[in-house]
A and B are shown apart, each in its own frame.
Chain A
Amino acid sequence: MASTSDLERLDDTARRAAELRPPVPPTALGPLARRERNLAYSMLLPTFGIVMAVVLAPLLANFWISFKPVGLGDLRPASLFVNERLRGDLVEPGDVATLQYRLRNSSQDEPLRDTAFTDTLPAGLTVTGDLDPRCALDGRQLTCELGRVEPRHRETIAVEVTATAAYIADPVPVRDSPATSQATADNVLTNFEFTLENFDRVFSAAEFWHVLRVTVYYTVFATLGAIILGLFAAQILNTAFAGRTVLRGLFLFPYVAPVIAVAFTWVLLLDPFSGALNAILRQVGVLDQPVNFLGQRAFAVDFFGLTVNFPVALTTIILIEAWRSFPLSFLFILARMQSIPADMYEAAEVDGATPLQQFWYISLPQLVGIIAILFLLRFIWSFNNFDDIFLLTGGAAGTRTLVVNVYEQAFAISNLGAGAAVAVVVFLVLLCFSIVIFKYSPQDEG
């Protein structure tokens, strides 16, 4: 049991130890370091600026829009349409006619505030009748203050004019000086009216869970397909033979060629009536009937008395995505394989390891790192893939993934808000992936 003096002695030792501890470097930056920091920040500023403006700001804007009842048509702000015309014939000086201004609120549901329009009357016309109380004439300048205009509101303001001799001599069409209108309206995008309707609509739709399932299938199998094909291709091209360089270039074609070119080629190849692939498969005897590879949702397969609905179109687009993306994984895996030191294989050879054992116990463990990175990258890219699916099937026949659904909601159904809500879901899923990557990515990369 420690006595009080013991405690005091301990305390004293601690104090002395603290005095002996080497001086800690100052936490504040020195002038040189500050200059370096400022230089670095200024060099990164342009990058920050453009990434903020075009990537991060839209990401946040998505959240905003997803709570808004906004359609594609609301992008054009509400305004006052003014249409002027002259009713009545002006033949002689002194003839009277009516100048009509037909007004319309362009918006179906937004009122306009502080509405006004101005117009310059044609020279030679004088206003004779009573002016509408909301209008005022200053020289030839007609200004009408209309205040608040309700949605869908239409009205006509008439001004009685009399022609002078000067006008008859040189009649100027009234539309030569178009009326200009001004109004302030709440922009749906910028006001503070929020709704949960978009999320409600997205989540309660029966197809949402189907879309989610399709997304998972597509992402997982396209990723696996690309990596397995890439691993296989890398194994083949890691052996020396004549024409290897040519084939390596050829194998990269699917990755380099524009997506529109390859997507339309596949559409043409897979066409059930005039497609070459269907014709080949029928000639060789694999198929009896032409198959609509991109248009058929499911194909019932009897599997030991169990009927399984095999998703035809989904499988096709997964295979095409694997075809298009295997070159990337093949490139990375090949590069890694060529950097495995040859003496490992020589040692294994001496020890009597067979080729498959060498692959299993030497190559694969060496490739695990790169395969893991490729898996993450491809996983995210397949998840994000819009172009292929959109061009191949347009999301029909059970191939609508989350990303295609964003387009479908926002631009096909013209409901920007619902599209943004799906985009928010997409973003949240990706955020989870990113956290995983951050946690498990190798520390020494770069």
Chain B
Amino acid sequence: MQPGLGTLTGFVAGALWGLVWMIVTAVMFMLVSGAATTPPVGAAMLAGAVCGATITAFRPAARTFGVTIAAIAAVFLVQAAATFGAPLGLPLATAPLAQMAAIAAFVGLTWFAVDRTMAAQPSGRLTRYQFEIVVLRLAKGLGLVFFTVMVALPFYVMVMTSLKNQSELLANPLDFSLDIAQGPAGLFRSYIELFTVYSFGTFLMNTAIVAIGTVIITLSFAVPGAYAVARLRFPGQAFLSRSILLIYMVPAIVLVIPLYAVFSQLGLRNTLTGLLIVYPATTIPVALYMLQGYFRGIPSELEEAGLMDGLTRAGVIGKITLPLSLPALASVALYVFMIAWNEFLFAFMFLDDIDMFTLSRGVVSLNSSEVPRQHLMAGAVIATIPVLVLFLWFERFLVSGLTAGSVKG
């Protein structure tokens, strides 16, 4: 045991981790069990600090299994002692199972985080290099927790709210525990009602038609256009390849007023056809831009060989260029699908007839005081799941296509 300045660093890092994990585990405990507690953060900071000090009291080589056990035990014992036997600030009898799990998670996570932060760092004085490593590990670790909570919390709340009922939510807004005993029919009541009473089946169908239609139209327009910009020489080519993206910068709200006026007079306003004209027009420029970036990367010798062997331009595109750019096509298709599926403004402005509603429009119509909140959230979940599943499935295409095709800096 050689405590030194490194031990102090461990002490401070431990206190920070104790604070963060206490808040996170206590909030999760509240959300899952429905019991309310004020997390004892002071005790948690002390527990984490003692854990950090225990680990860093030893040289890295001397941190044996025994030290690990001692560090873990330190978190638990200090936390229990400083809160007089109520580690989460609650008597152990309330929601004992969830509380056990939360305490175990707190102890384990705090120890793990402190151990990772101080791994291989000396117990004595830290060099600047070592100190920065510790600070960076701390910042990255805390950032990781921060981002995960920040992203996961709204989606968790969205799903859980859709499975509860309004009176429960008003009684305790933190209680997201599920009553499994009511069976699937009771649990998914909101979803069943949305599909039977609120015709979400139609909305789902309409949205799918519009989104897939937009993808097909966009690709059939953008592929030849992108090929021309990428491969053929013509006056204005350079200007076009740079300016086409500017179209994408035009805000939809600026187009809404004239389109609303014209579509009203043409009778296109309250139709899916109207959306199938507007959506592709807004997605074609970005699709063209992404595709031309990719087409340029294909060696033109391949196409020239095809031309020499007697293929027409159309043949070259169909037999050489497109098969080679399948990843780009997939990513563009997915991106366009995502835009069309999620589009809100035009659907909101143009559609009045409930048979024509897309999901976006349908969910907005649920936002009234007569419709219970869990229906609104169930609608949100229905709108989110298809696009999210599709996206996670094809994620690597989208990532590589978005970044490689459009911006190279």
Interface residues of A (CB under 8 A from B): 33, 36-37, 39-41, 43-44, 46-47, 50-51, 53-55, 57-59, 61-62, 65, 75-77, 189, 229, 232-233, 235-236, 239, 247, 249-254, 256-262, 264-266, 268-269, 271, 273-276, 278-280, 283-285, 323, 331-332, 335-336, 352, 354-356, 369-370, 372-373, 380, 383-384, 386-387, 391, 403, 406-407, 410-411, 416, 419-420, 423, 426-427, 430, 433-434, 437-438, 441-442, 444-446
Contact = CB atoms under 8 A, between A and B. Distances in A.
A50 B284 contact: yes
Contacts of A370: 407, 409
Contacts of B237: 40
Query: Which 9 A-B residue pairings sit nearest by Cβ, starting from the closest?
Result: A54-B281, A369-B409, A384-B251, A261-B380, A58-B258, A61-B258, A335-B403, A40-B232, A43-B224
Interface in B313-356: 313, 338, 341-342, 344-345, 349
Contacts of B158: 261, 265
Given A355-B133, A430-B250, A251 B151 contact: yes
A410 B257 contact: yes
A265 B380 contact: yes
16 contacts: A39-B232, A50-B284, A51-B247, A51-B285, A58-B254, A58-B255, A236-B140, A236-B147, A253-B151, A265-B380, A268-B376, A274-B170, A331-B399, A406-B257, A430-B251, A446-B296
Contact of B284 (A47, A251, A445): A47
B409 A373 contact: yes
A426 to B, nearest CB: 6
Nearest to A249: B392
A403 B409 contact: no
Contacts of B91: none
Nearest to A366: B409
A257 B387 contact: yes
Given A283-B39, A387-B345, A420-B257, 7 more contacts: A47-B222, A55-B255, A261-B363, A283-B27, A332-B403, A369-B409, A406-B257
B302 interface: no
Contact of A380 (B148, B241, B249): B249
Interface string B358-400: 0110011001000001001100110110011001100100010
Contacts of A57: 258
Contacts of A260: 342, 344, 359-360, 363-364, 380, 383
A268 B173 CA distance: 10
Contacts of B261: 61, 65, 75, 189, 416
A247 B144 CA distance: 9
Contacts of A387: 344-345
B253 A423 contact: yes
B161 A268 contact: yes
A441 B338 CA distance: 27
Contact of B281 (A51, A239, A253, A391): A51
Given A58-B254, A386-B345, A410-B257, A258 B151 contact: no
Contacts of A391: 344, 364
B384 A258 contact: yes
B129 A354 contact: yes
A75 B388 contact: no
Nearest to B278: A54
Nearest to B174: A279
B288 A47 contact: yes
Contact of B408 (A264, A356, A438, A445): A445
Nearest to B241: A446
Among A43, A76, A274: residue with most chain B CB under 10 A: A43
A50 B254 CA distance: 17
A382 to B, nearest CB: 11
B409 A442 contact: yes
Among B224, B235, B253: residue with most chain A CB under 10 A: B253
Contacts of A410: 256-257
B408 A55 contact: no
Interface of B is mostly: helix
A367 to B, nearest CB: 9
B242 A59 contact: no
Interface in B125-154: 128-129, 132-133, 135-136, 140, 143-144, 147-148, 150-154
Contacts of B143: 232-233, 235-236
A268 B373 contact: yes
A120 B399 CA distance: 67
Given A236-B143, A265-B154, A266-B154, A284 B27 contact: yes
B264 A75 contact: yes
Given A37-B234, A55-B281, A442-B409, A264 B367 contact: yes
- Interface residue range, chain B: 35 or more
Contacts of B169: 274
A285 B44 CA distance: 15
Contacts of A239: 140
Given A62-B258, A260-B380, A265-B154, A426 B253 contact: yes
Contacts of A50: 221, 277, 280-281, 284
Given A33-B233, A249-B392, A446 B408 contact: yes
A280 B23 CA distance: 10
A283 B30 contact: yes
B246 interface: yes
B254 A258 contact: no
Nearest to A46: B221
Given A44-B224, A54-B278, A233-B147, A262 B258 contact: no
Contact of B174 (A264, A276, A442): A276
Nearest to A52: B281
B212 interface: no
A40 B317 CA distance: 13
A155 B264 CA distance: 30
Contacts of A269: 153-154, 157
Contacts of A257: 155, 342, 384, 387-388
Given A44-B225, A285-B38, A446-B408, A54 B255 contact: yes
B265 A386 contact: no
B174 A283 contact: yes
Contacts of A430: 249-251
A355 B402 contact: no
B27 to A, nearest CB: 6
A386 B253 contact: yes
A404 to B, nearest CB: 8
A19 to B, nearest CB: 31
B33 interface: no
A55 B228 contact: no
A251 B224 CA distance: 34
Given A43-B225, A75-B261, A250-B152, A426 B359 contact: no
B8 interface: no
A258 B383 contact: yes
Interface string B179-215: 0000000000000000000000000000000000000
A164 B368 CA distance: 59
B232 A236 contact: no
Nearest to B338: A256
A427 B152 CA distance: 37
Interface string B4-33: 000000000000000000010011001100
